[in-house]
Amino acid sequence: MSKTTTALATFAALGVLAGAAQAEIRLGVSVSATGPAAFLGDPEAKTIEMLVEQLNEKGGINGEEIALTLYDDGGDPNKARTFATRLVEDDEVIAIIGGSTTGTTMSILSVAEDEGIPFISLAGAISIVDPVREFVFKTPHTDRMACEKIFTDMQEQGITKIGMISGTDGFGASMQAQCKEVAGEYGIEILADETYGPQDADMTPQLTRIRNTDGVQAVLNPGFGQGPAIVTRNVAQLGFEIPLYQSHGVASDAFIELAGAEAAEGLRLPGTALLIADKLAEDDAQYDVVTSYTEAYKAKYDQDVSTFGGYAHDAFALIVDAIGRAGDSEDPQAIRDALEATDGLVGTTGTYSFSPEDHLGLDLSAFRMLEIKDGDWLAVD
């Protein structure tokens, strides 16, 4: 008799366990938490871990907790592909967030497309969502949008002739190409087009060439890492009297510190609401999202948020929202369809509205033109 009871109890326990395992939403992440793109992937990984924890504490989505599988691909596209395959086949995730860089995104993207798993990329290149792929979405603005934002601002300032100095790293080179492509549409003429290596220590020769080019009214520097900080210092050293524009690649407080408040004074760049979280008006659409994210992140990691962590925040918010609306947390196809129907979701980067033709879902209003004034950011539009 007691044997039967034990057996029954065991069965019951197994049943409950299996039930619990069923009622889990398996989410996969592959970011570059270490390696050369660590400054992107590190805040991304931390952000998603924090958000999953927060959500599970609140009881998950429709009572189902999220089981997170997070891999660190170190910025290596081959590893990213392996992890994407593992996420789909072994971990049986229903959606993937990741691809800190365009390279790793491209690896994950093909796996997601083949397997029919919704994938939200955290990388910048426009080629990720253009042409539109059924299962691929992305949260960061494209570099083309950054160019358009900058050129719009230049137009307003009456600037038509510029000199460009771009980093030769992937980010700089891609944005340089995009800017050259759209410059004509804004009546901007690029008179000088210089480059620098990502770890160069001095850009005064290139800047001297730009300064000695007749008619240049502003300088534009697409790039990230140490290069833009050095360019900013060199521009100050050479005593330029024309405005300097940087890209969203340097949109962080650390940049002002590296370049020096004095050298960076008056510099303009397109950034997101996240950067001016403490200066947003309370009636700003993004106020709530941005403040709660920055405060939680600061409290948990004792670090300031970065734009990149914001991309991960938005990707996670989009997935959670889509799963909630899909009704079925097991079916990747239903989640994809819900994702594509996202309408007016407010993130830290901007307000997302996807459609079958648009898997980025942001417009230029997501970018805010910022100016560095007295060592701090100032929204100028």
30 binds other proteins (CB under 8 A): no
CB under 8 Å to 82, separation ≥6 — which residues? none
Select from 372, 345, 289 the least CA-distant residue to 47.
289
Answer yes or no whether residue 241 interacts with other proteins by CB under 8 A: no
First to last CA, the chain: 79
* Range in contact with other proteins (rule: CB under 8 A) among 74-82, 156-164, 221-229, 347-355: 221-229
Residue number, 137 or 297, with CB nearest to other proteins? 297
Does 42 engage in binding with other proteins (CB under 8 A)? yes
Q: Which stretch binds other proteins (CB under 8 A): 81-89, 234-242, 318-326, 334-342?
A: 234-242
27, 31, 38, 159: which one binds other proteins (CB under 8 A): 38
Residue 369's CB is within 10 A of a number of other CB atoms, namely 18
Q: What are phi and psi of 237, to 5 degrees?
A: -60, -40
Tell me the C-alpha distance between 220 and 248, whole Å: 12
- How near is the Cβ of 204 to other proteins at its closest, in Å? 4
- Report if residue 254 touches other proteins, rule: CB under 8 A: yes
Q: Which of 198, 234, 200 is nearest to 219 (CA)?
A: 234
Q: What is the DSSP letter of 370?
A: E
For other proteins, the closer CB: 43 or 332: 43
By C-beta, is 71 or 224 nearer to other proteins? 224
Question: Does 375 sit near other proteins (CB under 8 A)?
Answer: no
In terms of CB distance, is 257 or 295 closer to other proteins?
A: 257
CA dist 19 to 12, 24, 27, 67, Å? 10, 9, 18, 14
Query: Judged by CB under 8 A, does residue 331 bind other proteins?
Result: no
**Identity (one letter) of the amino acid at 266?**
G
239 is an interface residue for other proteins by CB under 8 A: yes
- Kindly tell me which of 7 and 254 has the beta carbon lying closer to other proteins: 254
Instruction: Examine residue 39 and tell whether it contacts other proteins (CB under 8 A).
Output: yes
Alpha helical stretches, state H, 23-115: 38-57, 77-89, 102-115
Closer to other proteins by CB, 34 or 82: give it.
Answer: 34
Binding mask 165-204 for other proteins (x = CB under 8 A): x----------------------------xxxx-xxxx-x
Residue 206, interface with other proteins (CB under 8 A)?
yes
For the CB of residue 98, give the shortest distance to other proteins in the complex, in Å.
18
Q: How big is the site for other proteins, counted in residues (CB under 8 A)? A: 35
Question: Which residues touch 210 (CB under 8 Å, ≥6 apart)?
Answer: 163, 165, 192, 194, 216, 219
Reduced to 3 states (helix: H, G, I; strand: E, B; else coil), residue 328 is coil
Among the listed residues 345, 145, 357, 372, the one whose alpha carbon sits nearest the alpha carbon of residue 254: 372
Contacts to other proteins by CB under 8 A: 34, 36, 38-39, 42, 165, 194-197, 199-202, 204-206, 208-209, 212, 225-226, 229-230, 233, 236-239, 254, 257-258, 260, 262-263
